[in-house]
Amino acid sequence: MPALADLIEAGRPIEQLAPWRRAVVAPKTWNLAVEQLAAGRWSLLGLWGEPDKVHMALLDETQDVSVISLDCRGGRYSSVGQQHPPALRLERAAADLFGLAPQGLPDTRRWLDHGQWGVSHPLAARPAKPAAESSYRFLTAEGESLHQIPVGPVHAGIIEPGHFRFTASGETVVRLEERLGYVHKGIEGLMAGAPLDRAAGLAGRTSGDSTVAYSLAFARAVEAALGVAVPPRAIWLRALMAELERLANHLGDIGAICNDAAFALMHAHCGVLRERVLRAADAAFGHRLMRDRVVPGGVAGDLGEAGASAIRSLVAEIRQRFPHLVELYDNTASLQDRTVATGRLKVELARQYAAGGYVGRASGRDFDARRNLAYAPYDQLAFDVPVLQEGDVNARVWIRVREVEESLSLVEQILGRLPGGPIHTDVAAAENTADGPREGMALVEGFRGDILVWLRLGEGGLIERCHLRDPSWFQWPLLEAAIEGNIVADFPLCNKSFNCSYSGHDL
Amino acid sequence: MRKLLFESLIRPPLTERPPQASDAAVDELARALDGIARKRLGRSLSIRAVDAGSCNGCELEMHALNNAFYDIERFGFRFVASPRHADVLLVTGPVTKNMREALKRTWDATPNPKWVVALGGCAKDGGCFAGSYAVVGGVSDVVPVDLHIPGCPPPPIEILKGLIALLEGASGTAGASLD
């Protein structure tokens, strides 16, 4: 059984990628990697295109991360998705954007391109004329008295747009098919040629609920590419913001999940705690969502004594109130009746799709980028990564409950050990790219799962190409599997327990 | 549960209430709305949120309006599930090309009189996404906009202020521009 490192040795290494390795490999080696994925030995962390090139980020059993690349003249290469389904939508997206032509791709329908852009393959070397508009062929389900329920893109709640096509037999969902791409803003296209500050702003607006995590992943990828060491205080402040973001999202979503089971009491109380987190973040960092506070080279503002004490009293309040809410959740039979055994995601599927975050961890996938890849300062902090096997809505709630507790502890540890010193260093992008382009990659654990950012900086320190992979790419398809056999009325509950990002996915 | 409910009964409410003079933002809103909203709309304004391409940041702050601190429903504002029940479309995001048609149809489905509020920097002119092959631009490029509320995202209190401004400006005629 090959190790990822062997594959990299066999290829033509690209020296500039930091901190991991990338190699341009021959089709034979590429196929060998696909076999490892299909056999379930390795995990797919991402797949993205460039004109006449396709890249794959892989994770092997030793937690080694590498990128392999394939030159494909004319965009033709052997489809990964035909052997490893998690790659399917990524390949469809890369085909839409770059005009790549994966051979043998089982699903050739366009994914992000809805025929509205006025152009085809907008990021290819030579964009093409728009393809003739054609209606989207939804997958079929056949059987007696099946009916379809189309939902979206404009939904009933205050949520992002996407289309769900249910085929139901009475109340039972036989098939759910998602159609996404409605909020595709062309972020990767806007990134190309952008200076760092503009690109950092775009990265922080990829998925609003994960603005800290995205800004952090982008900043770390830039710093890795340029070989810049960030001041210790900035590293710790970033982690503080990341944990506050995790707390806000988990608290809000635990309440919202219960609300989708018509248990408004929990929603009201969790909403109060979420608001407290946002207000503390505002007091400490000057913005409720902490947008644009993590920047390449460090952080945009320092934490003062007033901010630190706002966060301390926040932690004290959550520690006092949250256990009562957990008890409430645990002791309300009517609520448990809705969440237990609902929307069950099988352990095998979570593993196959390398599902990140609480979706993966509620279904037995013991992965957390903070621990497995141990980026600073998490290598110096003590925390547990909760894992459950049940994979139902209830398990996903419990993972989030446990993660709230862990994040509280992390916030306390960080505040207690926050080093002094400067909070920013100049990344000197132009000087550091004078000898040629530099590549960097980062994986950051957002509240939803691991976010991957890969980028190449070129002349003048401008972005040549930047790819941002949201954890939702590997979670959305699993929602289709988890809902099967459940009743239509439980879909909001299942959907909220996954809480995949539309904007992060659609880019 | 009983204990929690009981505690809620005896604890003072979190909702930030009108009568304090300083930090008057919420108070002013409550008073201003009380008079105007009652006159025009029988004390209620139904809002349909439409995400036409946002990053989801504006939606998070819209959600916050429903929490105990802001409690938007006490002013008569209510988020509704269908454009057919709505007086106001609260639209976020740069309008993506893939959402243009859906936004138009949502507007068409909203009965008159109706108002459109563009929420956030992107909804004004596309924000940092302007110029992309996949983005139309601001909301006003697709449907007529009555009011724009700036911010990235606008904090809940700013959204409330904006909705009041809308009520004050909408002197009986739908579609009057405040910009």
CA distance A293 to A11: 39
ipTM comes to 0.92
Report pLDDT for B18. Answer: 36
Residue A73 vs residues A33, A83, A101, A169: alpha-carbon distances, Å: 20, 22, 10, 47
Residue A311 and residue A421 share a domain: yes
pLDDT at position A213 over 90: yes
Report pLDDT for A65. Answer: 92
| Chain A hits for B135, Cβ within 8 Å | 185-186
Residue A277 lies in a domain: yes
Domains held by chain A: number: 2
pLDDT at position B25 over 70: no
Mean pLDDT calculated for residue range B95-108: 96
Q: Considering A58, A74, A103, which residue would you say is the last residue of a domain?
A: A103
A345 in reach of chain B (CB within 8 A): no
Q: Which residue has the tokens 């001041």?
A: A231
SS3 readout for A365-414: CCCCHHHHCCCCCHHHCCCCCCCCCCCCHHHHHHHHHHHHHHHHHHHHHH
Segments in B75-133 forming alpha helices (H): 97-109, 121-125
Residue A334 and residue A192 share a domain: yes
Residue A323 lies in a domain: yes
Cβ within 8 Å of B, A 210-269: 211, 252, 265, 268-269
pLDDT per residue as tens digits for the range A240-298: 999 999 999 999 999 999 999 999 999 999 999 999 999 999 999 999 999 999 999 99
Report pLDDT for B12. Answer: 81
Q: Do B100 and A183 touch (CB under 8 A)?
A: no
pLDDT at position B173 over 50: no
Cβ within 8 Å of B, A 287-326: 288-289, 291, 324-325
B125 in reach of chain A (CB within 8 A): no
CA distance A155 to B75: 24
Residue A362 and residue A252 share a domain: yes
Return the SS3 of A178: strand
CB B79 within 8 A of CB B66: yes
What's the distance, Cα to Cα, between the start and end of chain A in Å? 36
Residue A450 and residue A339 share a domain: yes
Q: Which helix (H) or strand (E) holds B118?
A: strand B115-119
Residue A386 lies in a domain: yes
User: Which of A119, A158, A269 to mutate to probe the B interface, most B CBs <10 Å?
Assistant: A158
Report pLDDT for A190. Answer: 96
SS3 readout for A171-217: CEEEEEEEECCCCCCCHHHHHCCCCHHHHHHHHCCCCHHHHHHHHHH
- β-strands A146-151, A163-169 pairing: antiparallel
Q: Which residue has the tokens 């880019």?
A: A507
Closest residue in chain B to residue A152, using alpha carbons only: B102
Residue A324 and residue A231 share a domain: yes
Residue A420 and residue A292 share a domain: yes
Return the SS3 of A329: helix
Residue A505 lies in a domain: no
Residue A112 lies in a domain: no
pLDDT per residue as tens digits for the range A332-357: 999 999 999 999 999 999 999 999 99
Q: Considering A79, A103, A127, which residue would you say is the last residue of a domain?
A: A103
Q: Which residues 6+ apart lie within 8 Å of A274 measured at CB?
A: A248, A251, A252, A255, B64, B67
Q: Considering A82, A103, A124, which residue would you say is the last residue of a domain?
A: A103
A427: β partners: none
Q: Looking at A110-221, which runs of residues are DSSP E strands?
A: 146-151, 163-169, 172-179
Residue A131 lies in a domain: no
CATH number at residue A62: 3.30.460.80
| Chain A hits for B56, Cβ within 8 Å | 160, 207-209, 501-503
CB A45 within 8 A of CB A58: yes
Cα torsion at A219, A221, A223, A229 (round to 10°)?
Answer: 100
Residue A196 lies in a domain: yes
Task: Give the residue numbers spanning the domain of A37.
Answer: 4-103
pLDDT at position B35 over 70: no
Mean pLDDT calculated for residue range A439-451: 96
Give phi and psi for A428, each to the nearest 5: 45, 55
Residue A306 lies in a domain: yes
Residue A213 and residue A77 share a domain: no
For residue A254, the number of C-alpha atoms closer than 13 Å in the C-beta half-sphere is 29
| Chain A hits for B93, Cβ within 8 Å | 183
A173: β partners: A168
Q: Do A158 and B79 touch (CB under 8 A)?
A: yes
CB B50 within 8 A of CB A153: no
Q: What percent of chain A clears pLDDT 90, i.e. is strictly above it?
A: 86
Report pLDDT for B44. Answer: 75
CB A48 within 8 A of CB A436: no
Q: Do B56 and A275 touch (CB under 8 A)?
A: no
Segments in B42-94 forming alpha helices (H): 57-64
CB A94 within 8 A of CB A100: yes
Residue A230 and residue A85 share a domain: no
CATH number at residue A341: 1.10.645.10
- Which of A182, A198, A328 comes nearest B96 by C-beta? A182
pLDDT at position A232 over 60: yes
Residue A388 and residue A280 share a domain: yes
- pLDDT category of residue A141 using cuts at 50, 70 and 90: confident
Peptide bond just before B113 cis, omega within 30 deg: yes
- pLDDT category of residue B170 using cuts at 50, 70 and 90: low
Residue A242 and residue A95 share a domain: no
